Chains A and B, each alone.
Chain A
């Protein structure tokens, strides 16, 4: 338990501490069955709202079923919740003094940010599964075989992990649970500023540019293509939508390259 632990030992403790924090998040969910129920009802609400209410008036480009078009967008939306989830949990720990306790303990410096983002990946699985199940219920299907389907879910998992790190940094930066709670509703418009629910072609040029470079759009376009769902973007769209899988990989790499070091530094900083 000294700083002279060999690098391999330190790595082992980082992983072990991270797993302990994953267990902590699961333990919290067990104490809050209401939250689990809400998380499982959310997909049904979204599918009914978008698939049947708004969807009744939306034309899918190139024709096709709107609910087929919608589901990859909703998967991307669920993916995006990683950001506010991790931000909220980090900010809560910072404002309740739990973060200070972690910092005053002889635990691996990397464990808390890695543990929180790792825990979010685990939490993301049932959330996505609920959305997928709802999709299957209303007629959505992956059409291109297991390999392409697996590739689509891998892209979703990767971007979710990267967005979790953005959330980790934001949580460490705001340090305050209330601020984090107030910021959370701002995330919904970000997911909607994309091709997740409607084609970007009809948007004003400036908005279309933002929407097409939104990582949510790249993920939606990539998974639509890999699932073989309707709504391939028209010719002349921005680069990320023409090469959506590459764009998701690039976005994830950039977000991780920026926010992992930023978060680690913000966590290890000893200031106030």
Chain B
């Protein structure tokens, strides 16, 4: 296996009394998507700014494509693209003029910069709006323009800092499609997001960070397995809740949680359970179930558990 293309070791960064990063470690293999998840203020943006050479860590170091982000910032910049939370393009220029300008600033010869601008506009569906000022673009179009501006030089590593925050579902889907296309081309993507379904959709690996430190890593499935599958039961008669709780407790050894009127949910930590058994035991106890579902936990549940447990440990 080749060396990871993004490596961060022991990154620390403080702003006065605020410790944004407290020893962050990260490793992203080439050609994969790494989703960095964390609540607001967890240090996601600070980490991206350091990796993209916009900020310098207090201690620790990071390498992108083998280059040190502090000492070899110039080489790092030649290999990365950064799309921020807000569209970092010139609103007063047209989409085409923006891409041409940034192409020139990437030191492409004029004709090549112009050709690349048209290629990208065509491929990412912005050709119709190419000559309108960005000011008149929809939120999704702006983000897409922001994203493709990073692609002018075909960077090896792309940093996407909350690329779909504030977008409607359809625009989010379009950004996701664009990201998938890039990954198919071999680009490595480091994506921060607050939307867990976004990480679930796009990321090969996920790093959950909280209080400036990575508290869990793994594939979405591995993280879900940590808290195990869940069993959801909806009762026909809410009054049967205590009886149903007893049955589920006996079956799983865990305490079920009431999630609504006549609704129960229980974790199945590593346990194997057949739905038929559940239905039969409930029937024996005289409890009528309207719905019994065995499901994987959502990433939201994993996230809440992980960030919550961290709090109680502290």
Instruction: Known A31-B93, A100-B82, A272-B49; judge A106-B88 contact (CB<8 A).
Output: no
**Residues 16 to 69 of chain A near chain B (Cβ within 8 Å):** 16-17, 20-21, 23-24, 27-28, 31-32
Asked if B77 and A28 sit within 8 Å, CB to CB, the answer is no
Instruction: Known A16-B107, A107-B105, A271-B55; judge A100-B75 contact (CB<8 A).
Output: no
Known A16-B107, A31-B93; further 7 A-B contacts with Cβ < 8 A: A13-B107, A27-B97, A28-B92, A31-B94, A100-B88, A101-B82, A107-B107
CA gap between A101 and B152 in the complex, in Å:
13
Q: Can you identify 15 A-B contacts, CB atoms within 8 angstroms?
A: A2-B78, A3-B73, A3-B74, A27-B93, A28-B92, A31-B94, A97-B85, A98-B88, A100-B88, A101-B149, A104-B81, A104-B82, A106-B78, A270-B56, A271-B56
Closest B residue to A115 by CB, please name it.
Answer: B105
Which size class do B's interface residues fall under? Answer: 35 or more
**Interface of A toward B, CB cutoff 8 Å:** 1-3, 13, 16-17, 20-21, 23-24, 27-28, 31-32, 96-98, 100-107, 111, 270-272
Chain B residues, CB < 8 A from A270: 53-56
Q: Give the residue of B81, B84, B94 whose beta carbon is less than 8 angstroms from that of A97.
A: B84
**Residues 90 to 104 of chain B near chain A (Cβ within 8 Å):** 90-94, 97, 101-102, 104
Chain B residues, CB < 8 A from A105: 77, 102, 105-106
**Interface of B toward A, CB cutoff 8 Å:** 15, 49, 52-56, 72-75, 77-78, 80-82, 84-94, 97, 101-102, 104-107, 133, 149
Q: Give the residue of A3, A17, A96 whose beta carbon is less than 8 angstroms from that of B105.
A: A17
CB distance from A203 to the nearest CB of B (A): 41
Asked if A2 and B75 sit within 8 Å, CB to CB, the answer is yes
Asked if B87 and A97 sit within 8 Å, CB to CB, the answer is yes
Closest A residue to B52 by CB, please name it.
Answer: A104
Closest A residue to B133 by CB, please name it.
Answer: A31
Chain B residues, CB < 8 A from A272: 15, 49, 54-55
Q: In the A-B complex, list the 7 residue pairs whose CB atoms are closest, starting with the nearest.
A: A3-B74, A97-B88, A106-B78, A106-B77, A101-B88, A20-B104, A104-B82
The majority secondary structure among interface residues of chain A is helix
Instruction: Known A20-B105, A107-B106, A272-B49; judge A28-B90 contact (CB<8 A).
Output: yes
CB distance from A198 to the nearest CB of B (A): 38
CA gap between A13 and B92 in the complex, in Å:
25
CA gap between A102 and B54 in the complex, in Å:
10
Closest A residue to B159 by CB, please name it.
Answer: A104
Chain A residues, CB < 8 A from B15: 272
CA gap between A100 and B88 in the complex, in Å:
8
CB distance from A100 to the nearest CB of B (A): 6
Asked if A97 and B86 sit within 8 Å, CB to CB, the answer is yes
Asked if A98 and B90 sit within 8 Å, CB to CB, the answer is yes
Chain B residues, CB < 8 A from A96: 86-88, 91
CA gap between A96 and B93 in the complex, in Å:
14
Q: Give the residue of B77, B78, B90 whose beta carbon is less than 8 angstroms from that of A24.
A: B90
Chain B residues, CB < 8 A from A101: 82, 84, 88-89, 102, 149
Q: Give the residue of A3, A13, A16, A102 whose beta carbon is less than 8 angstroms from that of B75.
A: A3
CA gap between A55 and B82 in the complex, in Å:
56
CA gap between A21 and B101 in the complex, in Å:
8
Q: Give the residue of A1, A27, A97, A104 whose beta carbon is less than 8 angstroms from that of B107.
A: A1
CB distance from A135 to the nearest CB of B (A): 31
CB distance from A118 to the nearest CB of B (A): 15
Asked if B53 and A103 sit within 8 Å, CB to CB, the answer is yes
